[in-house]
Amino acid sequence: MRYLIALTLISTLAVSAPALADVPFGWIGNHHVNAYSLGAGEFALSGNFAAVNDTIDFLNLRDRLLAGSQRLVGNSGDLSSNGGELRVGVWQSIELFYRENNQSLTLNLGTISSADVENLDNQLRTHTQAYGAKWVFYDAINQDRSYPWTSAALELTSNRSHSNDFGGYLAGLRTSSTGGVFFDPPGRFALDRLQDDAWQARLLLSSALGNTTTATFWAGYGEANASSGTSWDIDIAFLREAFLQTFDTEETQYTLGMSLNWQYLPRLPVQIGYEYINIADRQVNIIQGSGRFSNYLPSFLRGDQLSESETRNHTLYGSVSWWVTPEIFIGAGGKLFSSQFTGIIPHYTNPLSGSFSDTNYGYLELKLGLRFSLNWH
C-alpha cells in the first residue's frame, strides 16, 4: 500500500516537474544504477543470460562452495539464468521499468543419514519479477547532452519471487542405528511455499567526473516478507503433522552504493558498481512439526539454522558493452556476492539454501539490448 501511495505521488508531481530528464549519449542504463531517465517516448529493451558451471566458474567460487560444504556434492553451485528488462520514458521526468528473471541453481545433496530418499530434486528453480518507477526531480539544465551532467532521482521498486518445490520421495526414516520405519509406496515430501514480496525506495545522485566519466551514489530502504515450509503427502496423520512446518520471515533492508560509467570511446561504455546490503530487524517465525518423528526430518528441511542466516552482503558488478548501431548493443559482464543471494532473494533464507547463505558466489553474463523511440512530444 505504501508503495502504491508513493508511486501515485511521484506521478502527480512529475506532471509539473521542471526536470528535462534524459540519458547521456551512448549511455546504457539497464542493470546499471544511475539517476538518469529515458526521454518521453523512448524505450530500452534488453535480455541477459548468465551461467556458472565447471567451465564457467567465476573466480573459482563454485569449487570453493563445494569444498566448504559437507552437504553438497557433484555439480552443485551450477547456475543457469536468463531474464529481460523493459524501460519506458514517460513525460519528461518519469521512467517506468519491468524486469523478469528465471534461474536454476543446482543443489545436489549427498547421502542423507537419517532417511532413505528416492528421486530427490537437484535444482532450485526461481522466478523473479520487479516493476517500478524512477522520478528525476533534479536535472541540470543547459547542458550538452553529449556529455554527463548532474541529476538526482527517487526510485521505487516492487519485487516478487518464488521457487518451485524442492523434494523427493521418502522410503524410510532411520530411528536408530539398527532400524527404522519404512513406507511402501514412498510418499512425496517437499520444501515448498517458497516465495517473497518486497519493496524498496532509493535516492540516487549522478554527477560528472569529467567529459567521459560519471559517478552515481545511492542510499535505499526496503522491507520484505518471505515464506517457506515443508510437507509430506502421506496418509498417516501423525507422520504428516511431523513434516508440516512453516518458516515466515520479515526483514528491513538498508543499502548504500556507488557506480561508475566510463565512456572514453562513446560506443564502448565500461560500467562498474558496488552495493552494501544490510538486513536489520529480521524476525523469523518457525512453526515446527509435532511428534517424535519430527526429530528425524532430513537436516535440509529443518529450520534450526534460519535465525543464524547471514544479514550482510557486498555486491560488485562490472560490464563492457558495445553499441553495434545507435540502437543495438551487446555486452559481457560479471557479478560477485560476498554472501550469495542474501538481500537479493529474501525467501532463500529457507533451510536448504539458507545454510550456505554466507558463502561467496558470482557469475558471468552476456547481454543484448535495443533502444528506440516513438517520438512522443
Cα–Cα nearest to 287, from 250, 249, 244, 251: 244
CB-based contacts of 5: which residues, under 8 Å, 6+ apart?
Answer: none
Type of residue at 230: T
Q: Please, are residues 51 and 104 in contact by the beta-carbon 8 Å criterion?
A: no
CA 59 → CA 33, 55, 64, 312, distances in Å? Answer: 24, 11, 9, 21
Cis peptide, bond prior to residue 185, ω within 30 of zero: yes
For a pLDDT cut of 90, what percent of the chain falls above it? 49
- What is the pLDDT, as a whole number, of residue 175? 72
DSSP-assigned states of every residue in 81-94 = EEEEEEEEEETTTE
Neighbours of 217 (CB within 10 A): 15
What span, in angstroms and rounded, lies between the C-alpha atoms of 40 and 11?
14
DSSP-assigned states of every residue in 61-81 = HHHHHHHT-SSEETTTT-EEE
- What is the pLDDT, as a whole number, of residue 265? 87
What span, in angstroms and rounded, lies between the C-alpha atoms of 66 and 328?
39
Read off the pLDDT band of 289 (50, 70, 90): confident
Please say if the pLDDT value at position 96 is more than 70: yes
Q: What is the pTM of this model?
A: 0.86
Please say if the pLDDT value at position 20 is more than 60: no
- What is the pLDDT, as a whole number, of residue 22? 61
Read off the pLDDT band of 68 (50, 70, 90): low
Q: Please, are residues 215 and 258 in contact by the beta-carbon 8 Å criterion?
A: yes
Q: Please, are residues 274 and 259 in contact by the beta-carbon 8 Å criterion?
A: yes
Within 13 A of 185's CA, how many CA atoms are on the CB side? 6
Q: Which three cell numbers stand for residue 179?
A: 532400524
Report the pLDDT averaged over residues 135-160. Answer: 86
What span, in angstroms and rounded, lies between the C-alpha atoms of 103 and 197?
18
The three state secondary structure string of 192-247 is EEEEEEEEEEEEEEEEECCCCEEEEEEEEEEEEEEEEEEEEECCCHHHHHHHCEEE
- What is the pLDDT, as a whole number, of residue 278? 97
Report the pLDDT averaged over residues 132-146. Answer: 81
Can you give the length of the chain in residues?
377
More confident residue, 93 or 304: 93
Query: What residue spans define the domains of the chain?
Result: 2-112+120-164+190-373
Type of residue at 209: L
Backbone torsions φ then ψ of 6, nearest 5 degrees: -65, -40
Report the pLDDT averaged over residues 260-285. Answer: 92
> SS3 of 347, please?
helix
Report the pLDDT averaged over residues 205-232. Answer: 93
Cα–Cα nearest to 259, from 189, 299, 315: 315
Lowest-confidence range among 108-112, 188-192, 250-254, 358-362?
Answer: 108-112
CATH number of 2-112+120-164+190-373: 2.40.160.40
